[in-house]
Chain A
Amino acid sequence: MPLLDLLPLAASESNLLAAREQMAFTLGFHIVLSCLGVALPATILAANYVALKKGDADAMELARRWSKAMAVTFAVGAVTGTVLSFEFGLLWPQFEHRFGSVFGIAFAIEGIFFFLEAIFLAIYIYGWKRLSPWAHFWSGVPMVVTGIGGAFSVVAAPSRMNQPQGFTLNAAGEVVDVEPLKVLFNPATGYEVPHMILAAYMVVGFLVASVYAVGMLKGRRDRLHKLGVVIPLTIAAIATPVQLFVGDTAAREVADHQPAKFAAMECIEKTGDDQTEYLGGICTEEGVKGAIGIPGLDSFLVGFSTDTEVIGLNSIPDNEEPPAHTMLHLAFDAMVGIGTALLALGAWFGFVWWRRRDLPRTPWFLRAVAVSGAGAVVALWCGWIVTEVGRQPWIVQGYMRTSEAVTEADGIWFSFGLVLLLYAGLGTGGVLVLRSMSRRWREAGADREGDTPYAPSSPTGRKALTQTANRPVDGGGG
C-alpha cells in the first residue's frame, strides 16, 4: 500500500518511491513508442513489398501513410528514450556508479543500432519522392535489422539485472573485472529478448490493425481499410503463437532462477509440490482469496509433473520479498489472459482467411480487432510490471538494492509531477497530430493530393506531379 506508506517515510525512502514511479511511468510511455520503432518498419516494408510486387496502389498508400506516422512516433520515441538515459544518472546515480561499466556495454552497442536506425529511417521516410522504388525499399531494410538489434541490446540490460553475471567485485563492492560476452549473453537474455521483440511485433500488428478496424466499423469499408487490417494482423497472428511458447519457457526460467518473483506472480505462499495454479484473486498470507484454483497445475507447468516442488514466499527472507504481490499476480494473469485472447483472435482470422480469403463477416470480429491494439499494449505493460517490480527490492538481483541506487537529490516528487504534465502534453500532442494526419488523408480521398511516390524529380515537377497524381499508381513503374 504505497499511498499509506507515504507519510511516515524517511526522506530517502520518499525519494525512492518518487524515483521508482517516475522511472516506471517514463519507461511505460517509452516502451510503446519503442515497440513502434522495432516493429513498425517491418510492417511498412511488408506493405511496400506487396505494393511493388503486385502494383497495388492501396498497399503503397498504406506504406506511405504509415511511414509518415512513423516520422512522428520515432521523433517522440527518440526524445523519451533520451529522457530515460538521463534518468539513469538523475535517478539512479549509484547504480551507474557501481555497475555502469558492466551494464553500459549493452547500451554502447545499442547506440550503434539506434544511430543506424535513425539514419535509414530518415532516408526511407523522406525518400519517397526522389529515390527509385526498389532503392527506396532497400533503404528501409536496415531499419528492420537495427530495430531487432537495438531491442536485443536494450532488453539485454534488464535481463542482466535479473540474472547478473560476468563481473567480479572486490571487498568494497566495486567492479574490478568484467567479462563482456558473459555480460551480454546471460541466461535471461535467451528468453527476455525474443519475448520483447515478439511483443513489439504483436503490439504494432494489433495496434495498426485496430486503427483500420475502427475505420471499417465507422463504415469505411474500402479496400484500403481492409488491407490496413489484413497486413498488420497477419504479422501479429504469426507472432502470437510463437510468443506464447517463448513466454511459457520464460516463466519456467523465472521459476528456476528468480523464485521470489515467481512465487509473487503466482501467489505461492508455502514451498511444496502439487501447487495450485490460481487465476485472479487477491494474495494474502493465508492464501489466495477469490481466485479460480486449478490443483496441481502450477507444479505441472513448472516441471511437467504435479510432483514438482515450487518455492513459496515463506522461503524468501522478508527483506528480499518483492512488494505488491497481488498487483504482480494480477499483472501476470492479465498478460497471459490477453495473450491467449489475442491468440484466439489471430486463429479466427487465420482460419477464415484460409477458407475464404476474406475477413470474418461478423462485426464482432472488427470489434475484437478494434480493442486488440489497446489489449496488446496493456499486456506489454503488465509484462514489464512483472519483470521489473518483481525484481524488487533489487536493482541488480542479489547485488544491489534499488534503495542503494537512488539519488539523494531533492525534488524528485517535483520532477515526477513535471514529467507527468510534460508527458500528458506529449501524448495528447502526438495523438492529435496523428489524428489530424489521418483526417487530412481521408479528406484528400481519391486524389491523394499531389503526393504520388516516386514522381519525377524535375525542377518543373509541380505540373508533372499533378499529372501523375491523377494516374493510378503503378507502383513498380515510378
Chain B
Amino acid sequence: MSKADAAAAILWVGASFYALFGGADFGGGFWDLVAGWDERGQRPRDVIQRSLTPVWEANHVWLIFVLVVLWTAFPPAFSAIFTTLYVPISLAALGIVFRGAGFAFRKSIVRLQARRAMGATFAISSVLTPFFMGTVVGAIAAGNVPAAGNGDAFSSWLAPLPLLIGAMFVASGAYLAAVFLVGDARRAGDGEMETYFERRALGAAVVAGAFAVAGLFALHSEARYVFDRLTAEGLPLVIASLLCGAALLVVLLRGARRALRPLAAGAVVAVVWGWGVAQFPYLLPTSLRIDQAAAPDPTMTVIFIVFAVAAVLVLPSLGLLYTLAQRDLLESEH
C-alpha cells in the first residue's frame, strides 16, 4: 500500500465515523421533525435531545477531520470538488450552521414559541444537510467532478444518482438514529418509546434499503466504472451490508435487543467502504487517481502521525464520553 493509498484509507476511516455518528445525529433531527406537534412530540423529542446533547459536537468534528485530511493529503481533489460542487456544499454549510445553532439555542431557552422555532430550524436543517452532503458524494461517484475543477455548478449534482444518494444519506441517518434511540429508550426504562423507535427503525431500514437498490440502478447508468467495481471487487462489502441489514431486521422483528447497534453500524460502514473500493484507484472517478492527487510524502507522514495520535488520544476520550453518556452520568438540563 502506497503512502497515498494509506492516506486515502484514513480519509475513509474518518468518513465512516462521520457517517455513523454524525449521520445518527442528523437522523435524530429527522425523527424530531416528524415527531408531531408539541405534546405528542414531547416524549420522543426528550429522548432525542438527551441522547444528542452531550455528543453531537464531538461527532461533528469527524467532518472537520475529513475536510482537513482531504485538503492536506489531496489538495487538487479538494479544490476540484469545491470549485464544482460549491452550491450543494454551501447549502450543507448553511444547514450545519442552522442545525447546530438551532439545537443549542432550543436547549437554552424556555419560551415555547421560540423553542418551537429553534426546534424546527434544528430539525429541518438536520434533514437538508445530509441530503446535500449525499449529493456531493453522488456527484463525485458519478464522475461529474472534473480533475481540473470548475465543473458545471448545477448539472453536476442535479442528476438522478446524486439526488438518490442524498436521499439515501437522510434515510440511513434516520435508520441509525432510530436503532440507537431504541437502546437509549430501553436504558431509560421507557418501554413505550422503545417500541416507538423500534417501529421507526424498521421503517427506515426498508426505505434506506429501497434507496440503495434504486441507487444501484442509477449507478449502473450514470457511474459505470463504480458500478462495475462495486459488483466485483466491492461485492463482499455489499453482501456484508445486506447481511447486517437483514440480521438487524430479524432481530428487531423477533423483539430481541442483541447486537442492534453493531449490526446497524456494520450495514452503514460496509457501504462507505464499498464506495471506496468501487472508486479505487480514483478519488474522482475517472479523472483523478489517488496517486495523482497526493501531497508530498512528508505531508503524508504528518497525516499518519496525526491519525496515530487520534487513535491513541481521541478514540479513548470519545469512548469515555460515550460511556459516561450511556451510564447517565452526563445530564442535559435546561
Contact = CB atoms under 8 A, between A and B. Distances in A.
Contact of A82 (B93, B104, B313, B330): B93
Given A71-B104, A433-B109, A112 B309 contact: yes
Interface stretch (A9-17, A40-48, A124-132, A354-362): A124-132
Given A89-B78, A105-B72, A116-B313, A79 B153 contact: no
Contact of B75 (A76, A83, A96, A119): A96
Contact of B83 (A118, A125, A409): A409
Interface stretch (B168-176, B245-253, B293-301): B293-301
Contact of B82 (A89, A98, A115): A89
A440 to B, nearest CB: 7
A290 interface: no
Contact of B79 (A81, A97, A128, A426): A97
Interface in B90-106: 90, 93-94, 96-97, 99-101, 103-105
B210 interface: no
A177 B306 CA distance: 19
Interface in A443-472: 451, 457
Contacts of B101: 75-76, 79, 426, 429-430
Among B96, B108, B110, B301, the one with the most A-chain Cβ atoms within 10 Å of its Cβ is B108
B116 to A, nearest CB: 14
B97 A409 contact: no
B54 A426 contact: no
Contacts of B55: 122
Contact of A104 (B75, B90, B309, B328): B75
Contacts of B57: 74-75, 78, 118, 121-122
A463 B331 CA distance: 17
B273 interface: no
A338 B150 CA distance: 45
Contacts of B149: 93, 97
Given A71-B104, A112-B310, A119 B321 contact: yes
Nearest to B309: A112
Contacts of B200: none
B97 A80 contact: yes
Nearest to A104: B72
B1 interface: no
A126 B332 contact: yes
B38 interface: no
Contact of A178 (B109, B111, B296, B320): B296
Nearest to A408: B150
Contacts of A111: 61, 64-65, 68, 306, 310
Given A119-B318, A437-B108, A79 B97 contact: yes
Interface string A67-92: 01001101110111111011011100
Interface residues of A, number: 74
Nearest to A105: B302
B83 A408 contact: yes
A108 B306 contact: yes
Contact of B64 (A114, A127, A433): A114
Nearest to A99: B75
Contacts of A104: 68, 71-73, 75, 295, 299
A257 to B, nearest CB: 24
A107 B64 CA distance: 9
A86 B331 contact: no
Contacts of A238: none
A131 B329 contact: yes
Nearest to B84: A409
Nearest to A120: B317
B140 to A, nearest CB: 14
B148 to A, nearest CB: 10
Contact of A90 (B89, B104, B150, B333): B89
A407 interface: yes
Interface in A401-424: 407-410, 415, 418, 422
A469 to B, nearest CB: 13
Contacts of A114: 61, 64
Nearest to A125: B54
Contacts of B318: 115, 119
A107 B68 contact: yes
Nearest to A407: B83
B125 to A, nearest CB: 10
A72 B53 CA distance: 12
Given A119-B314, A127-B331, A129-B333, 9 more contacts: A88-B71, A89-B71, A93-B149, A111-B306, A112-B309, A115-B314, A178-B299, A180-B302, A457-B328
A-B residue pairs, 10 tightest by C-beta: A104-B72, A89-B82, A101-B295, A100-B75, A75-B104, A126-B330, A79-B100, A97-B79, A93-B79, A100-B71
Interface of B: 53-55, 57-58, 60-61, 63-65, 67-69, 71-73, 75-76, 78-79, 81-83, 86, 89-90, 93-94, 96-97, 99-101, 103-105, 107-111, 118, 149-150, 153, 295-296, 298-299, 301-303, 306, 309-310, 313-314, 317-318, 320-321, 324, 328-333
7 contacts: A78-B60, A90-B90, A96-B78, A96-B82, A108-B68, A409-B153, A430-B105
Interface of A: 68, 71-72, 74-76, 78-83, 85-86, 88-90, 93-94, 96-102, 104-105, 107-112, 114-116, 118-123, 125-131, 142, 175-180, 407-410, 415, 418, 422, 426, 429-430, 432-433, 436-437, 440, 451, 457
